[in-house]
């Protein structure tokens, strides 16, 4: 029997939630039905000639439903709309931005664990699963020391080269987040975070951004607002994150990953620029303005 637990994706607010970070964002009215929005987007995916409409769940409370046994090939963590109980996509249906520089972050890998969990971008409703290689479950060689996951409604376009990072192309995934707070979170938990810095990792030639952020409910969240604050209040953390992601493949006989931007973390404004650009890429993806390939759009 599938286990279900309830996680709040966003606290109640009187402000409209925007799917896009552009100045002319489509704003979701507070009275809009989340179920209707969910159906709207799926209909648009199936009928790509219709005009695109932003359809993230407004102010969602999501339930997380685990199917199968953890650390098996069949294990999945699905997201359910708290009102209707219908399956929704953590990648497409949970809004990216909550306004005032606050974003939703979905935990895939809790800190101090090493099972390589990720959103299954090629499966319906994009549940979280454990990554595999040659039919075997993947693990990091050692624990990751921070909560790790993704920003919903972002996508690193593999057809776009970034001239600021050695012309590297996107890795075809949502943008990754490294959350540096003290608490160990749960798989599928949705946190409100503020970005602090960005690292431009290059993994086998592909650009794989790491947004360094902190959950707003962390005791030190009020102390950190930009990259320099991280160095002051979390000394050595940015270097440790860079070194961890640079070296984690070496025990498997692979070369170290590299980092662009002079091997240094970029500041908050640059991180926000990356989030904005990858949100726009996601919008093009779900509008089918670019080839989705094997990616699931619902």
Residue 172 near residue 226 (C-beta atoms within 8 A): no
Sort strands 17-18 and 27-28 into parallel, antiparallel or unpaired. Answer: antiparallel
Among this protein's residues, is 142 annotated catalytic? Answer: no
Residue 59: name the closest of 15, 125, 100 by CA: 15
First vs last Cα of the chain: how many Å apart? 25
Three-class DSSP category at 111: coil
Q: Catalytic residue among 125, 140, 142, 248, which?
A: 140
What is the C-alpha to C-alpha distance for residues 263 and 257, in angstroms, rounded to an integer? 11
Cα separation values, 298 from 38, 41, 154, 279, Å: 9, 8, 14, 16
Contact residues for 188 (Cβ-Cβ < 8 A; gap 6+) = 5, 7, 64, 77, 79, 90, 106, 107, 128
What is the C-alpha to C-alpha distance for residues 95 and 281, in angstroms, rounded to an integer? 15
Residue 150's Cβ-count burial label (10 Å; 0-12, 13-18, 19+) is buried
Instruction: Please list the active-site residues.
Output: 140
């Amino acid at each position: 029997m599938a286990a279900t637990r309830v996680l709040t994706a966003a606290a109640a607010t009187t402000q409209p939630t925007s799917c896009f970070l552009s100045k002319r964002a489509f704003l979701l009215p507070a009275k809009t039905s989340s179920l209707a929005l969910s159906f709207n987007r799926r209909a648009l995916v199936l009928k790509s000639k219709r005009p695109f409409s932003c359809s993230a769940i407004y102010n969602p409370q999501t339930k997380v439903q685990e199917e199968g046994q953890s650390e098996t090939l069949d294990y999945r963590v699905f997201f359910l709309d708290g009102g209707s109980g219908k399956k929704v996509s953590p990648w497409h249906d949970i809004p990216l931005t909550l306004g005032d520089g606050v974003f939703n972050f979905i935990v895939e890998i809790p800190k101090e664990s090493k099972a390589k969990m990720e959103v299954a971008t090629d499966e319906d409703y994009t549940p979280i699963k454990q990554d595999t290689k040659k039919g075997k479950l993947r693990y990091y060689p050692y624990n990751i020391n921070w909560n790790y996951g993704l920003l919903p409604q972002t996508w690193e376009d593999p057809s776009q080269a970034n001239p600021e990072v050695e012309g590297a192309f996107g890795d075809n995934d949502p943008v990754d987040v490294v959350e540096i707070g003290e608490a160990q979170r749960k798989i599928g938990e949705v946190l409100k975070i503020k970005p602090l810095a960005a690292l431009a990792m290059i993994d086998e030639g592909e650009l794989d951004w790491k947004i360094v952020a902190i959950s707003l409910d962390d005791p030190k969240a009020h102390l950190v607002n930009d990259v320099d604050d991280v160095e002051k209040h979390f000394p050595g953390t940015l270097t440790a994150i860079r070194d961890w992601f640079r070296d984690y493949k070496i025990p498997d006989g692979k070369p170290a990953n590299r980092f662009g931007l002079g091997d240094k973390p970029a500041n908050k404004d640059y991180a926000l620029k990356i989030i904005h650009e990858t949100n726009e890429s996601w919008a093009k993806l779900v509008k089918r303005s670019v080839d989705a390939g094997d990616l699931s759009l619902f």
